[in-house]
């Protein structure tokens, strides 16, 4: 029999004779590998899932025109359809995206100033899953009103509302005020509409006197299709289809805001790339309320992962090290006899290290499979989505389990190689 064959025969014989101890070492490695692999899979998968979940609560990127006034006509400027398409292609090139466009106009209801938004109902509904709508979304001749407006006027679903439009309420000075408030409020994740209402109320004054049409309640009649309740500035807006807004104002123009739920990994780079395109005449801003919450949750999750991983590594080292120490103590006489017969300390040390690595490999293989099952179950239970197996992470998990087992066996193996055969034989 060759030396290699004799080596493995002695190794498997030692393991077989101490099956209970070997099983304990395998279980210690298994638990450590399962926990670490499960945490690693969650740490990789959950931020992606979390990002998608957070994006369901609104936009994380807002695009507005660089100028509030069209220099050629003097009217309110907007982002035309071609530019909306081009900007959307830029966002989509960096990852998944959902978007909605908004055209804001100052209107009057019972002579009181309000803000009306022309929207595509499908886009807004797809972007803002957190909106609570009592009734239905806007359609031809029907509007969706905010909860604050409904409470102030006493409207219900199915009620009729008369909306008046005055060009003087939407002059260049008013639009400038609206756009500046939109830019300031974008950092908080709002549409910048609260201040625009104040600007419209300012239009009621002319030369320090009350405008003559302040009490004019004429306008176009709409039916209330639904009432939206978000707890934010959206509750103070009237939403209508773009066609109805065009008909009410008599003017067809570009949109004032494009809201994106962008899946780009680096939003800062995306914002920079859009803003660097000066010919586009648009500016992009992050919605810091959404992105900051997303980043904070992911950072907390990753910090927790490292803390738990460190604890698991220490416990695995202690568990495997204790088991190997027990095995060395049981084989003390055998080690002394082998050294008396001429076995070198390095040969004895290699045998124990290989034995420990074998425990780690077996425990790592089983533990990785168990860890993947746990990670899959957790993701399905929490996010209702499955995750794929990461083969590189799986190989790393098995190798780490073997390495931890070898490192844990260093102290007991060191003691085994220092056993004095004369003392052992004298005890016998």
Q: Is there a single domain that holds both residue 27 and residue 68?
A: no
Which position has the higher pLDDT, 303 or 402? Answer: 402
The answer on pLDDT for 267 being more than 70 is: yes
CB 254 within 8 A of CB 77: yes
Q: Is there a single domain that holds both residue 10 and residue 67?
A: no
Q: Is there a single domain that holds both residue 161 and residue 121?
A: yes
What's the CA gap between 266 and 407, in Å, rounded? 39
**Region of 273 on the Ramachandran plot (φ > 0 left; ψ -120 to 50 alpha; else beta):** alpha
Amino acid 194: pLDDT: 39
The answer on pLDDT for 303 being more than 50 is: yes
The answer on pLDDT for 116 being more than 70 is: yes
Closest C-alpha to 419, from 318, 321, 355, 331: 331
What's the CA gap between 47 and 388, in Å, rounded? 15
Domain boundary among 263, 286, 309: 286
Q: Between vectors from CA 252 to CA 225 and to CA 145, what angle results, nearest 5°?
A: 20
* pLDDT average, residue stretch 71-83: 72
What's the CA gap between 190 and 259, in Å, rounded? 10
Band of pLDDT at residue 139, cut at 50, 70 and 90: very high
Please state, rounded to an integer, the average pLDDT across all residues of the chain: 79
Amino acid 52: pLDDT: 61
Amino acid 306: pLDDT: 82
Band of pLDDT at residue 265, cut at 50, 70 and 90: confident
Domain boundary among 286, 319, 348: 286
What's the CA gap between 248 and 163, in Å, rounded? 9
The H or E element containing residue 363 is helix 345-383
The H or E element containing residue 103 is strand 97-109
Residues 202-213 pLDDT 10s:
444 444 444 545
Amino acid 75: pLDDT: 60
Q: Is there a single domain that holds both residue 134 and residue 254?
A: yes
Which has the minimum average pLDDT: 59-63, 287-291, 392-396? 287-291
The answer on pLDDT for 357 being more than 80 is: yes
**Region of 95 on the Ramachandran plot (φ > 0 left; ψ -120 to 50 alpha; else beta):** left
The answer on pLDDT for 378 being more than 90 is: no
Amino acid 246: pLDDT: 93
* pLDDT average, residue stretch 394-398: 91
Q: Is there a single domain that holds both residue 410 and residue 268?
A: no
| Structural domain range at position 335 | 3-53+295-427
Q: Is there a single domain that holds both residue 122 and residue 264?
A: yes
* pLDDT average, residue stretch 332-339: 75
Q: Is there a single domain that holds both residue 49 and residue 65?
A: no
Q: Is there a single domain that holds both residue 213 and residue 257?
A: yes
Whole-model pTM? Answer: 0.58
Closest C-alpha to 260, from 290, 222, 235, 281: 290
Please provide residue 284's backbone torsions phi and psi, each rounded to the nearest 5 degrees.
-115, 145
Token readout for 195 is 């201040």
Q: Is there a single domain that holds both residue 76 and residue 206?
A: yes
In the chain, the percentage of residues whose pLDDT exceeds 90 is 28
Q: Is there a single domain that holds both residue 311 and residue 397?
A: yes
Q: What is the largest CA-CA distance in the chain?
A: 118
Out of 71-85, 236-250, 259-273, the most confident range is 236-250
Token readout for 55 is 């994006």
What's the CA gap between 358 and 16, in Å, rounded? 13
Q: Is there a single domain that holds both residue 102 and residue 231?
A: yes
What's the CA gap between 340 and 400, in Å, rounded? 35
Q: Is there a single domain that holds both residue 279 and residue 306?
A: no
Alpha-carbon torsion, ordered 276, 278, 279, 280, to 10 deg = 70
Domain boundary among 259, 286, 313: 286
CA dist list (Å): 188 to 36, 288, 290: 37, 6, 8
Q: How many domains does the chain have?
A: 2
What's the CA gap between 24 and 323, in Å, rounded? 7
């Amino acid at each position: 029999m060759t030396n290699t064959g004799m080596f493995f025969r002695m190794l498997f014989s030692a393991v077989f004779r101490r099956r209970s101890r070997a099983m304990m070492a395998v279980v210690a490695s298994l638990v450590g590998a399962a926990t670490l692999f499960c945490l690693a899979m969650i740490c990789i998968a959950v931020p992606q899932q979390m990002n998608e979940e957070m994006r369901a609560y609104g936009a994380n990127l807002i695009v507005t025109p660089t100028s509030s006034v069209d220099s050629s006509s003097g009217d309110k400027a907007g982002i035309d359809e071609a530019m909306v398409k081009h900007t959307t292609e830029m966002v989509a090139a960096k990852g998944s995206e959902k978007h909605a466009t908004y055209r804001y106009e100052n209107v009057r209801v019972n002579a009181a100033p309000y803000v009306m938004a022309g929207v595509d109902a499908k886009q807004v509904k797809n972007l803002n899953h957190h909106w609570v709508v009592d009734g239905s979304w806007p359609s031809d001749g029907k509007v969706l009103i905010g909860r604050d407006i409904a409470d102030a006027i006493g409207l219900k679903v199915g009620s009729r509302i008369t909306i008046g439009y005055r060009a003087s309420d939407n002059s260049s000075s008013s639009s400038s005020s609206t756009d500046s408030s939109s830019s300031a409020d974008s950092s908080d994740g709002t549409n910048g509409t609260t201040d625009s209402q104040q600007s419209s109320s300012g239009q009621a004054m002319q030369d320090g006197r009350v405008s003559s049409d302040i009490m004019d309640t004429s306008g176009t009649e709409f039916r209330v299709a639904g009432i939206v309740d978000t707890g934010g500035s959206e509750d103070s807006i009237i939403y209508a289809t773009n066609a109805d807004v065009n008909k009410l104002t008599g003017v067809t123009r570009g949109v004032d805001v494009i809201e994106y739920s962008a899946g780009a990994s680096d939003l800062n780079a995306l914002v920079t790339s859009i803003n660097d395109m000066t010919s586009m005449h648009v500016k992009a801003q992050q919605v810091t309320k959404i992105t900051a919450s997303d980043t904070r949750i992911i950072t907390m999750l990753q910090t927790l992962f490292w803390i738990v991983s460190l604890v698991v590594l220490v416990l695995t080292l202690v568990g495997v090290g204790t088991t190997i120490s027990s095995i060395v103590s049981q084989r003390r006489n055998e080690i002394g006899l082998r050294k008396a017969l001429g076995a070198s300390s390095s040969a004895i040390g290699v045998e124990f290290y290989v034995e420990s690595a074998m425990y780690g490999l077996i425990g790592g293989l089983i533990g990785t499979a168990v860890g993947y099952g746990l990670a899959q179950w957790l993701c399905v239970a929490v996010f209702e989505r499955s995750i794929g197996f990461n083969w590189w992470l799986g190989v790393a998990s098995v190798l780490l389990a073997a390495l931890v087992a070898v490192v844990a066996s260093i102290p007991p193996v060191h003691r085994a190689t220092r056993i004095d055969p004369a003392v052992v034989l004298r005890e016998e």
